[in-house]
């Protein structure tokens, strides 16, 4: 993937925060939901995945959240949509590795790479990962 | 003359060049906790290095020494809040103290149909213990209405009745910082035969809180919000109520006799409530912190807090993008939002600039409907805060830059 400058990364985060395409209630029945809220802040989100025949058919979310959690969850929904469950798990795993400054496969993360600096703001790691934790939870028993 | 720079020299956290995000630390989250002066740290260290022993246990000099120090701390605390010495019970903090009243008194005396009065501005520690007691006894919870961030006596009168057994309210709210007229509330509670519990976590460290004058039945507070150690606090209670109240924890140090048939004689208050080995070092540090506060003078501390908030308000008065929720509280707490900025994002930006403030609901999760916002940012001062720190804060508000600067610079 092309190298993103800081300005490009900033605008990707802001785009996904100001106009999150995946922030809505599920359009139809059949989605699995996990509710996430943080003890310390007010992030309060529902994450919805529609999983069918080993494929994550759709992903969306709704609720109240800060810039980082909204943007990160929105990007995650884009990334997971259409992936096989195992691929989805690999993407989530790569994201967690990036958060904790471990080696990770950047190709898997696509736009989610914009959160690479989150570890500089340790208090915000939970914001960046809140949606990802929910998706991991839904996929856990698949 | 209040010399804040001289006071600061006594705090290692303020003299050790502590940095956050590689910038000098500006600590403006004093409602959450406060720094400790060297004298408090030394007092605690001395217990560990010179006279370690269990209290109320030994027949030897070291143990008597620990006992003496604990009782000295109790005297300091009683003198700060104007109570009798034997009315001071050591707890793990304000939370521990409120739970002790809830379980020791509430669980014993409340029954189905009784009412407990709280407000929606209360901290979780003054809500959740009462939820449990209501659940266990069948009592119900009522709320006094909040008007412009304040609890008014006339609104307490609207909800109180002969069914009310407990009124439990904060003296100073931890979100908005208004001082409640607890003395009047206690009078009203007593007219109806209810007991008045006062959460003093944010008041005892900042304003004169006179247990006898307020005529409250119980007063709860924590050491760590007033330059003392974490994990220790006090419940001050009227002695006749402490006598009636059941212990919440039982064990060593709080009984005088117990027999195989189950009979127990508890010691008299306050010892009846102090089961197990106490946090001796913590209590000694608490006592020393209270002495430190008294030396500076609680009224001077309050005046200093007010001046800092006035100074911040003056500097921010022409800045249109800030919403301040408690301009007239002037009690060391400024609660605000920046228009169009999520409070946590503002706090992250502040962190990036080395400034510690709090964002969120501040543990008062019932309050959001009343403030017209789910969350806020809270800046809070204490006796060592300087105008220069307020300058750093105001500059970050006005010239803060983009919220993503924290991630990309």
Q: Which helix (H) or strand (E) holds B116?
A: strand B115-119
Which of B266, B295, B324 finishes a domain? Answer: B295
Tokens for B40? 């408090």
What is the mean predicted confidence (pLDDT) over B287-309? 97
Tokens for B167? 């009124």
The pLDDT of residue B372: 67
Q: Which helix (H) or strand (E) holds B165?
A: strand B164-170
Q: How many interface pairs between A and B have CB atoms less than 8 angstroms apart?
A: 49
The pLDDT of residue A39: 66
Contact at CB, A66 and B352, closer than 8 angstroms? no
Contacts of residue B408 in chain A, CB cutoff 8 Å?
6, 9-10, 117
CATH number of the structural domain spanning residue B85:
3.40.640.10
B166 plus B136 within the same structural domain: yes
> What string of H, E and C letters represents the secondary structure of B30-67?
CCCCCCCCHHHHHHHHHHHHHCCCCCCCCCCHHHHHHH
Q: How many domains does chain B have?
A: 2
Look at chain A and count its residues: 142
Contact at CB, B342 and A117, closer than 8 angstroms? no
Tokens for B248? 């919440």
B91 plus B230 within the same structural domain: yes
Which of B247, B272, B295 finishes a domain? Answer: B295
Burial of A94 (0-12, 13-18, 19+ CB in 10 A): buried
Question: Does residue B35 lie in a domain region?
Answer: no
Contacts of residue A42 in chain B, CB cutoff 8 Å?
343-344, 360-361, 374-375
Backbone angles phi, psi at B62, to 5 degrees: -55, -45
Q: Does B402 touch chain A (CB under 8 A)?
A: yes
Nearest to B345 among A9, A64, A66 (CB): A66
Q: Is the pLDDT of residue B320 over 70?
A: yes
pLDDT digits (tens, 9 = 90+) for B155-168: 999 999 999 999 99
Q: Is the pLDDT of residue B369 over 70?
A: no
B59 plus B77 within the same structural domain: yes
pLDDT tier, B183 (very low <50, low <70, confident <90, very high otherwise): very high
Q: Which helix (H) or strand (E) holds B115?
A: strand B115-119
Domain with B17 in it: 4-30+297-408
Phi-psi region of B177 (alpha: psi -120 to 50; beta: other; left: phi over 0): left
For each of the domains in chain A, give its residue range(s) and CATH number, in order of start. 6-139 (3.90.1010.10)
pLDDT digits (tens, 9 = 90+) for B41-58: 999 999 999 999 988 767
Q: Is the pLDDT of residue A3 over 90?
A: no
The pLDDT of residue A41: 66
Nearest to A91 by CA among A56, A60, A48, A142: A56
The pLDDT of residue A106: 92
Q: Is B1 helix (H, G, I), strand (E, B) or coil?
A: coil
Q: Is the pLDDT of residue B101 over 70?
A: yes
> Rounded distance, CA B298 to CA B300, Å?
5
Rg of chain B over CA atoms, in angstroms? 22
CATH number of the structural domain spanning residue B354:
3.90.1150.10
Judged by average pLDDT, the poorest of A12-26, B130-144, B309-323, B340-354 is B340-354
B123 plus B199 within the same structural domain: yes
Q: Which helix (H) or strand (E) holds B19?
A: strand B19-20
Nearest CA in chain B to A127: B344
How far is the CA of B37 from the CAs of A84, B73, B93, B180, in angstroms? 58, 16, 19, 29
Nearest CA in chain A to B404: A10
The pLDDT of residue B216: 98
Nearest to B70 by CA among B253, B246, B202, B322: B253
Model ipTM value: 0.78
Nearest to B348 among A6, A42, A121 (CB): A121
Question: Does residue B36 lie in a domain region?
Answer: no
pLDDT digits (tens, 9 = 90+) for A101-127: 999 999 999 999 999 988 888 888 988
Contact at CB, A120 and B406, closer than 8 angstroms? yes
Backbone angles phi, psi at A83, to 5 degrees: -85, 155
B363 is catalytic: yes
Q: Does B348 touch chain A (CB under 8 A)?
A: yes
Contact at CB, B344 and A127, closer than 8 angstroms? yes
Q: Is the pLDDT of residue B219 over 80?
A: yes
Burial of B205 (0-12, 13-18, 19+ CB in 10 A): buried
B169 plus B213 within the same structural domain: yes
What is the mean predicted confidence (pLDDT) over B80-94? 98
Which of B295, B316, B349 finishes a domain? Answer: B295
Burial of B11 (0-12, 13-18, 19+ CB in 10 A): buried
Q: Is the pLDDT of residue B175 over 90?
A: no
pLDDT tier, B368 (very low <50, low <70, confident <90, very high otherwise): low
B229 plus B316 within the same structural domain: no
- The pairing of strands B164-170 and B115-119 is parallel
Residue with the larger pLDDT of the pair B252 and B181: B181
The pLDDT of residue B253: 83
B254 plus B318 within the same structural domain: no
The pLDDT of residue B227: 98
B328 plus B386 within the same structural domain: yes
B322 plus B224 within the same structural domain: no
pLDDT digits (tens, 9 = 90+) for A32-53: 999 998 766 678 899 999 999 9
Contacts of residue A18 in chain B, CB cutoff 8 Å?
none
C-beta of residue B309 within 8 angstroms of C-beta of residue B334: yes
Q: What percent of chain A has pLDDT over 70?
A: 96
Please enumerate in sequence order all residues whose Cβ is within 8 A of that of B29, keeping only pairs 6 or more positions apart, or say none. Answer: B356, B357, B358, B378, B379, B380
Q: What average pLDDT does chain B have?
A: 94
The pLDDT of residue B405: 82
B302 plus B279 within the same structural domain: no
Nearest to B331 by CA among B295, B293, B382: B382
B283 plus B330 within the same structural domain: no
β-sheet bridge partners, residue A37: A44
Q: Which of B48-57, B303-312, B400-409 reaches the highest mean pLDDT?
A: B303-312
B253 plus B397 within the same structural domain: no
Q: What average pLDDT does chain A have?
A: 92
The pLDDT of residue A2: 56
C-beta neighbour count of B407 within 10 angstroms: 26
The pLDDT of residue A122: 83
pLDDT digits (tens, 9 = 90+) for B261-279: 888 888 899 999 999 999 9
C-beta of residue B385 within 8 angstroms of C-beta of residue B355: no
Contact at CB, B344 and A64, closer than 8 angstroms? no
Give pTM, 2 decimals: 0.90
Contact at CB, A121 and B345, closer than 8 angstroms? no
How far is the CA of B74 from the CAs of B53, B201, B226, in angstroms? 18, 17, 15
pLDDT tier, B375 (very low <50, low <70, confident <90, very high otherwise): confident
Rg of chain A over CA atoms, in angstroms? 14
């Amino acid at each position: 993937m092309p190298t993103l400058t800081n300005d490009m990364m900033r605008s990707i985060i802001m785009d996904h925060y100001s106009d999150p395409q995946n922030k809505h209630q599920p359009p139809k029945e059949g989605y699995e939901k996990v509710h996430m809220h943080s003890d310390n802040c007010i992030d309060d989100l529902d994450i919805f995945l529609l999983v069918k025949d080993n494929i994550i058919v759709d992903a969306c979310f709704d609720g109240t959240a800060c810039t980082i959690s909204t943007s990160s969850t929105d990007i995650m929904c884009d990334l997971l949509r259409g992936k096989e469950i195992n691929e989805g798990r690999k993407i989530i795993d790569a994201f967690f590795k990036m958060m904790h400054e471990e080696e990770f496969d950047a190709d898997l993360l696509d736009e989610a790479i914009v959160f690479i600096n989150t570890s500089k703001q340790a208090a915000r790691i939970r914001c960046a990962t809140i949606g990802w934790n929910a998706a991991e939870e839904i996929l856990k028993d698949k | 003359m209040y010399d804040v720079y001289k006071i600061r020299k006594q705090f290692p956290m303020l003299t050790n060049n502590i940095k956050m995000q590689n910038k000098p630390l500006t600590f403006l989250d004093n409602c959450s906790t406060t720094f400790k002066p060297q004298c408090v740290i030394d007092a605690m260290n001395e217990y560990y290095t010179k006279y370690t022993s269990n209290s109320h246990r030994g027949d030897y000099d070291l143990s008597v020494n620990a006992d003496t120090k604990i009782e000295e701390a109790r005297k300091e605390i009683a003198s700060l809040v104007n109570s009798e010495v034997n009315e001071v019970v050591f707890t793990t903090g304000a939370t521990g103290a409120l739970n002790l009243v809830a379980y020791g008194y509430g669980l014993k005396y409340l029954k189905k149909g009784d009412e407990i009065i709280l407000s929606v501005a209360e901290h979780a520690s003054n809500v959740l213990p009462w939820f449990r007691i209501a659940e266990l006894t069948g009592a119900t919870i009522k709320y006094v209405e909040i008007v412009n961030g304040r609890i008014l006596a006339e609104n307490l009168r609207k909800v109180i009745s002969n069914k009310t057994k407990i009124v439990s309210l904060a003296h100073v709210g931890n979100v908005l910082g208004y001082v409640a007229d607890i003395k009047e509330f206690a009078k009203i509670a007593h007219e109806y035969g209810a007991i008045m519990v006062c959460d003093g976590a944010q008041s005892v460290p900042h304003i004169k809180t006179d247990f006898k004058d307020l005529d409250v039945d119980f007063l709860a507070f924590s050491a760590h919000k007033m330059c003392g150690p974490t994990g220790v606090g006090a419940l001050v209670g009227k002695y006749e109520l402490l006598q009636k109240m059941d212990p919440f924890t039982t064990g060593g140090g709080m009984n005088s006799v117990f027999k195989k048939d189950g009979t127990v004689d508890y010691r008299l208050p306050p010892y009846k409530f102090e089961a197990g080995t106490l946090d001796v070092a913590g209590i000694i540090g608490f006592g020393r912190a209270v002495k430190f506060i008294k030396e500076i003078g609680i009224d001077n501390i309050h005046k200093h807090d007010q001046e800092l908030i006035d100074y911040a308000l003056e500097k921010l008065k022409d800045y249109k993008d800030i919403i301040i929720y408690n301009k007239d509280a002037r009690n060391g707490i400024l609660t605000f939002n920046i228009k169009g900025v999520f409070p946590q994002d503002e706090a992250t930006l502040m962190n990036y600039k080395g400034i510690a403030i709090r964002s969120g609901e501040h543990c008062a999760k019932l309050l959001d409907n009343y403030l017209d916002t789910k969350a806020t940012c809270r800046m809070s001062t204490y006796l060592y805060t300087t105008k220069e720190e307020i300058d750093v804060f105001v500059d970050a508000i006005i010239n803060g830059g983009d919220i993503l600067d924290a991630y990309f610079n």
